[in-house]
Each structure stands twice: as structure tokens, then as C-alpha cells.
Structure 1
Amino acid sequence: MQRSKAELRTAILRTRRGVSKHTRDTEARALADHLPALVTGSWTICAYVPIGSEPGSVEQLDDLCSRGVRVLLPVARTDAGGVPQPLRWGEYRPGELVDAPHGLREPAQPWLAAEAIADASLILVPALAVDRTGVRLGRGAGFYDRSLGLADAAAHLVAVVRDDELVDDLPAEPHDVRMTHALTPRAGLVGLG
């Protein structure tokens, strides 16, 4: 019997909390080493600032900027009733992140509209897990599910996960937007679907 999304989230977050800082740092460097091969020229990509035990690093964002890549970062907000809204986007400038709701770090204003995601050729999406058909397990708030449908149909939607978080099967719901790829520290870019 397949576990529920809530049970999977709890188990993955517990495992991530047990990963040493050294291992997280080593994996972040490996992820950063894979990125230059994924972007060419003056691309626009959407990325994220990792929090807690999420894979990745601010240094990889700095490296992308130094290569001439335009990096957009998400701005997550809810409406007056607490319902998550589609992500807005802010241009990343090294050293200029500010504290944000939900324990996040984001670019300071001005922000771009949710539709700015359509400018990106590559969208790096935080995930707790992704399966080989592209089903992504996020944290459950729905910010990305409300946003990814606005992306260009040709964009690579890349779930960034630890190697053991690329799994064979996850529970899916009709509103889930499938990832086209996974990015893991050891395997690099893996096609899904």
C-alpha cells in the first residue's frame, strides 16, 4: 500500500534533518557543478534559495549570475484568506536577499508578475521527492502548482532532490504539474516521463 503524501513528507523531512552539514555541503557543491552544463548563453532561469535541509546553495546562484545568467527567485504570498497565490518573481542580485514570510529569503522589491516564469528556459524547483514519471512531492502549500502552468511549454522543469529522493512512484493528483527532469548530486540531470 502506497503511503500518503503527508506520510512521505514527514519521513523525507526526518531523513533530511539527519543528514550531516558536511554531506549537505558536498551535495550542494555537486549540484552547482552540474549547472554550467545546463545553461548556455544569457538564459533566464528560475531558481530558489534553499532553506533548512533543502538541496542547493546561494553560492550556486552567485555562480550562475557570474556566468551572465539572469536568475529569478520566487516570492511566495497568500491572499487575505491565507490561500497561496501564484509565485511572483524577483531578480537575484548577490548579497541582496531579504527575509520573507514562511522562513524564506527572497529578492527585495520590485517584483515581477507571476507570468515572468514564462521567460525562463530552465526552472529549478525545490522538491522533497520526484518519481520517474515526473510527479513531484513538494511541501504541500501549492505555490508551485499554481505557478508552473504559466511556464513556457518548452522550459525544462527540474526537481532538485537528493539522490535517494528520486524514486519509482509517488502519489499523484490531477493538479500536479509534472517535472521534465530531476537534478541530483551524483546522477546530475535525469530525464523523467
Structure 2
Amino acid sequence: MTDGIDDAKRALRADLRERRQLRSEAAHETAAAGVKEQLDALVDELGARSLSCFLSSPTEPGTQEFIRDAVARGIRVLLPITRVDGLLDWAVADPDGEIADGLFGMPEPTGEVLSPLAVNDVDLLVIPAAAVDRTGMRLGWGRGYFDKTLGSMEHCPPVYAVIFDSELVDDVPRDLHDQPVTGVVTPTRTVTLAPHRR
């Protein structure tokens, strides 16, 4: 049974990755501006003073402008750093800080490293995804970092995945370890999908 789920996930991820790579630079710039507007509104609505986010890669809906602006507004932003053991360390976002390729070639900060527990203090988690379905089930990129993080949090704040509009789908293949999200942020809207779990 699990093999069938894994195969379905792999096929869907490959399709989504290809679609993302076909987007024009102009489309990515427009998406980044939309995502920033939606995330700014979400932060204001939740009154978040601290949050986690991720440094977007060139094919992802852009988060970097949002992060710079949030830090300038006095919001504490934690950025993930991948570890070989499947956990995430964190670093406080610094607009003047260096960015390097992480374990899997994704952009990551190079500042002072905080432990996986640092994320327990945030008011909002903003995470990447390949797709999310209408029940809030998230399909990640297959390495399990965010599923492990969410699954280990005793008091999880609201979790929003950043995706393109077409990546909010009716259904995604799911496994036992997969963790749902509260909602999604796209370039055009923010959608709350599942009740917030504490």
C-alpha cells in the first residue's frame, strides 16, 4: 500500500516541479509580490511578532522580499537550516546575512545556528509545499523535514503553506506521518482549510 502512495507522490511532485520550472521570470515576480501582500495581511491579522519562514528558491513562490520587510518591521523571523539527521536547525533572519546552499541546494542562512527547539516560540509557521488539498493535507518535497517539525511540536501555532494557486488541489496522496496545515497562502489569496490544532 505504501509503495502505491510513494509512487503517486513521486509522480505528482515531478509534475508540479516541471510546471514550476516553466513559469516565466515575470510570472515569478508577480507571484512574489502577491505572496508578500498575502503574508503581510496574515501576519497583521494574527498579530504575529515572531514567525518562521523559508528562503524561497527561484522556482518557488517568492518569500524573500516578505522576510526582508518583516524584519525591518521588527518581526523576529526564523529560517530553517537542514541537518543530516532529518531535523531542522534555525537562524534568525538578517537582511545583511550571508545565504548559502543547504544540504539539498536550497538557499539557507549562514548565521548563528539555533536548535530545533527554537521554533517552539513562534506565533506562525510559514512553510514550503508542493501542493495542499482542501482538507489541509500537505504534500511536501519528500524529505520529511517539516512533517517531523510539525509532528514534534507540543503547542503548534497556525501553519500556512506557500504555494501557487493551481497547487491547491482536491486531494493529495497521504501517509501516516504526513502533517496537515492550517491553510495556504498563494499569490492571490489566503485560504484557511483546517481548524487550528494546539
* Aligned 8 A contact 1:131 1:170 in 2: yes
Query: Which of 61, 70, 77 is residue 64 of structure 1 equivalent to?
Result: 70
Query: Which of 37, 51, 56 is residue 57 of structure 2 equivalent to?
Result: 51
* Aligned 8 A contact 1:120 1:152 in 2: no
For the residues of structure 2 that align with 1:106 and 1:38, how far apart are their CA atoms?
24
For the residues of structure 1 that align with 2:30 and 2:114, how far apart are their CA atoms?
33
What do residues 67-126 of structure 1 show as CA deviations (whole Å, max 9, x unaligned)? Answer: 1110000000114xxxxx211110000031331321122222421111111111111110
For the residues of structure 2 that align with 1:88 and 1:22, how far apart are their CA atoms?
33
For the residues of structure 2 that align with 1:60 and 1:103, how far apart are their CA atoms?
21
Q: For structure 1, which segment, 63-72 or 37-46, has the greater mean C-alpha deviation from structure 2 after superposition? A: 37-46
Q: What is the match of residue 25 of structure 2? A: 21
* Aligned 8 A contact 2:137 2:181 in 1: yes
Gaps of 5+ in 1: 80-84
Give yes or no for the alignment of 1:92 onto 2:93. yes
For the residues of structure 2 that align with 1:42 and 1:70, how far apart are their CA atoms?
9
For the residues of structure 1 that align with 2:41 and 2:156, how far apart are their CA atoms?
18
SS for the counterpart of 1:159 is strand
Amino acid at match of 2:152: L
Q: How many residues align?
A: 187
5 Å matches for 1:21-170?
21-40=25-44, 43-79=49-85, 85-99=86-100, 100-151=102-153, 153-170=155-172
Give yes or no for the alignment of 1:181 onto 2:187. no
Q: For structure 1, which segment, 99-108 or 42-51, has the greater mean C-alpha deviation from structure 2 after superposition? A: 99-108
* Aligned 8 A contact 1:42 1:68 in 2: no
Q: 1:171 to 1:42 in 2, by over 3 A?
A: closer
Q: 1:44 to 1:118 in 2, by over 3 A?
A: same
- Aligned CA RMSD, in angstroms, stands at 1.8
Output the TM-score relative to the length of structure 2: 0.88
* Aligned 8 A contact 1:97 1:105 in 2: no
How far off is 1:26 after superposition? 0.1
Q: What is the match of residue 5 of structure 1? A: 9
- Percent of pairs identical after alignment? 36
Runs of at least 4 residues off by over 3 Å: 150-154
How far off is 1:133 after superposition? 0.8
Output the TM-score relative to the length of structure 1: 0.90
